[in-house]
Structure 1
Amino acid sequence: MPVKIVKNLPATKILQEENIFVMDDERAQNQGIRPMNLLIVNLMPRKQATETQILRLLSNTPLQVNVDLLYTTTHAVKNTTQGHLDSFYRSFDEVKLGYYDGMIVTGAPVETLEFEEVDYWQELLEIFEWSKTHVYSTLHICWGAQAGLYARYGVDKVELPQKLVGIYKNSVENHKHVLFRGFDDSFTCPHSRYTTSDEQAISQLTDFEILSKSEETGLSVVTKKNLREVYIFGHLEYDRDTLNWEYQRDKSAGITVDKPVNYFPEDDDKKKPQMTWASAASLFFSNWLNYAVYQRTPYVAARLSEHPESDFDFNLTNLTSADSAML
């Protein structure tokens, strides 16, 4: 949450230079507070596991968050019952008239396919285009990050020599960036993918910043400077046993796959995996929800459609009579 201080206090400038959010009495008195509305586009096959992982992280803040779960209707779901989808999920047609402060696009085990070969690709393109005017900040995860960069900017994916799977140390390139407030110099993160996005192409996007990477994983976190789009190539949301479940699944299917690195104690897959990324996951999702969503989204979310590429700094003093009627 922001720190409220006396207006014009000398410390204000220093704190702002460190990207620490502060507000004076005037703004505090006029700031409107309302629940955050989030949409989770769940593309993972084990939807219940993924929704639990993400909701756990979103709940670790003092903010009230209303969540809608979305599934792609153009894909035949095999690992989740239709009853679960009917009870807890919504289709794009059911949400497209609404506005959301934030959206999360999960990964998907389809990175070996060309984007256009994915059966729900056209539906996902429609969601991405819609989000420009109906969502303030979107967090793209793993394949969701690669898909978002390709759809929005034509950034191609690059096939890796072999599957990148395990727990890897990633850098913090900018300690003052709000998404990495409270982080140490590095953090560990699960990665599980066959491809990545073209780093050279991303470096040429002038309104983007690379926030985290490593020699082993390449890019880890990149963001649009106005925080309207955040891309993470790892899986901070993974549970302790998720990589083990994927490893055992692949072995049972007869797929030759290496053990996840830096995961099993003494590299023994019969031992309980080590959990070393939980604190980083909690902090990253909390920072995104607080700094990229809560502190920036317009109080009246429908105003997103007026300025689809803008940064916002709205509070109740900005409201017009028309806005007030929408509350």
Structure 2
Amino acid sequence: MPIRIQADLPAIEVLEAENIFVMTYDRAAGQDIRPLKIALLNLMPTKTETETQLLRLLGNTPLQVDVELLHPASHVSKNTSSSYLQKYYKTFDQVKGQRFDGLIITGAPVEKLPFEEVDYWTEMCRIMDWTRTNVYSTLYICWGAQAGLYYHYGIEKHPLHEKLSGIYNHQVLNPYHPLMRGFDDNYFAPHSRYTTVYLEDVKAHRELLPLAVSDIAGLHIVAEKGGRRIFVTGHAEYDRDTLAKEYFRDVNRGLEPKIPYNYFPGGDPAKTPAFTWRSNAHLLVSNWLNYYVYQQVPYDFIGEEHA
């Protein structure tokens, strides 16, 4: 089934070329279907790339999904024009009176800063507090996951001695958990971050369930009991070449980055990386949509706007 987005969003051309069913609002208005209403708070500097990556995953399920793109009003984007944001995105204040079946909060390149020093942290706190009543299930990604664990449970992030970048093997801790259904015992996923969250800190909270870990990359997936909050410390949504783009960007900046782990064939940046995490990424998002949004949200959860 399709994702519903604005008719001229640049991501449409890419998604349709991949045979992902995209439906415009005008066409969807003629159907008598209650679609899932999903908001995407995009904190990444590469807005178009990130929205395309996540829309691709949201569009590969049997469910019809109505997507609302959000950006923080308290941050001035250096990489995305204000005209693009005004045309395709809304701010929290514009949607705070609505309810959403699900919300995705992306990562952001601000890991080295204390949470309170991020220029949109106050707004982030307002949004995360709002999710308690206006969002049925929230999926937090990378820095977003660290921010959610810190805000809701007081779990700190910790600096790594060097950037964690690459494709890492993970072990499923609970194969019978709905979020992990269909996963192999071991699977690959990308990470790209400078900080981490300790497994023992998560285990100290009885309401949190660690679901997958890596011997090298550490904790990967955590779920709150009941599934109202899901935390993923990596970037399952990344394209084949996203880590390569980050690596060559840092090379051009003179940062002398390490070659991403287990990514380029033979460790040669001139070679095209194998796409070894795509199926796991689709499975993760479809499980979240199915088991923790579609099957659990009350039918009348989406109603009239309210204060």
TM-score (norm 2): 0.87
List alignment gaps of at least 5 residues for structure 1. Answer: 2-31, 304-322
Q: How far has the Cα of 1:33 moved from its partner?
A: 6.6
Give, as a single letter, the amino acid of the residue that structure 2 aligns with 1:247: Y
Give, as a single letter, the amino acid of the residue that structure 2 aligns with 1:107: G
CA distance in 2, matches of 1:99, 1:146: 24
Residue 76 of structure 1 pairs with residue 100 of structure 2 = no
Residue 261 of structure 1 pairs with residue 264 of structure 2 = no
Q: Residue 114 of structure 1 aligns with which residue?
A: 114
Q: Residue 46 of structure 2 aligns with which residue?
A: 46
Give, as a single letter, the amino acid of the residue that structure 2 aligns with 1:134: N
CA distance in 1, matches of 2:292, 2:171: 20
CA distance in 2, matches of 1:245, 1:301: 40
Tell me the alpha carbon deviations over residues 232-286 of structure 1, each in whole angstroms, 9 at most, x when there is no partner: 0110000000000000111111112100011101110011111100010111111
Q: How does 1:102-181 map to 2 (within 5 A)?
A: 102-181=102-181
State the Cα RMSD in Å.
1.6
Residue 62 of structure 1 pairs with residue 62 of structure 2 = yes
Give, as a single letter, the amino acid of the residue that structure 1 aligns with 2:192: S
CA distance in 2, matches of 1:33, 1:273: 40
Q: Residue 36 of structure 1 aligns with which residue?
A: 36
Q: Residue 187 of structure 1 aligns with which residue?
A: 187
Tell me the alpha carbon deviations over residues 177-209 of structure 1, each in whole angstroms, 9 at most, x when there is no partner: 111111111110000001012322211110111
Q: How does 1:167-316 map to 2 (within 5 A)?
A: 167-302=167-302
> For 2:240, what is the secondary structure of its paired residue?
coil
Give, as a single letter, the amino acid of the residue that structure 2 aligns with 1:271: K
CA distance in 1, matches of 2:103, 2:196: 21
Larger of the two Rg values belongs to structure = 1
Q: Residue 8 of structure 1 aligns with which residue?
A: none
Q: How far has the Cα of 1:302 moved from its partner?
A: 4.9
Give, as a single letter, the amino acid of the residue that structure 1 aligns with 2:102: G
CA distance in 2, matches of 1:84, 1:188: 34
* Runs of 4 or more above 6 Å deviation: none
CA distance in 1, matches of 2:119, 2:59: 32
CA distance in 1, matches of 2:285, 2:192: 19
Check the 8 A contact 2:198/2:218 in 1, yes or no: no
CA distance in 2, matches of 1:95, 1:253: 38
> For 1:270, what is the secondary structure of its paired residue?
coil
CA distance in 2, matches of 1:101, 1:70: 15
With 193-202 and 88-97 compared, the bigger mean Cα shift is at 193-202
The size of the alignment, in residue pairs, is 275
CA distance in 2, matches of 1:211, 1:125: 26
CA distance in 2, matches of 1:276, 1:69: 28
TM-score (norm 1): 0.82
CA distance in 2, matches of 1:236, 1:175: 18
CA distance in 1, matches of 2:260, 2:219: 19
CA distance in 2, matches of 1:130, 1:116: 18
Give, as a single letter, the amino acid of the residue that structure 2 aligns with 1:212: A
CA distance in 1, matches of 2:85, 2:190: 27
CA distance in 2, matches of 1:198, 1:122: 25
Check the 8 A contact 2:101/2:302 in 1, yes or no: no
State the identity as a percent: 52
CA distance in 2, matches of 1:165, 1:195: 11
Q: How far has the Cα of 1:124 moved from its partner?
A: 0.4
> For 2:145, what is the secondary structure of its paired residue?
helix
Give, as a single letter, the amino acid of the residue that structure 2 aligns with 1:130: W
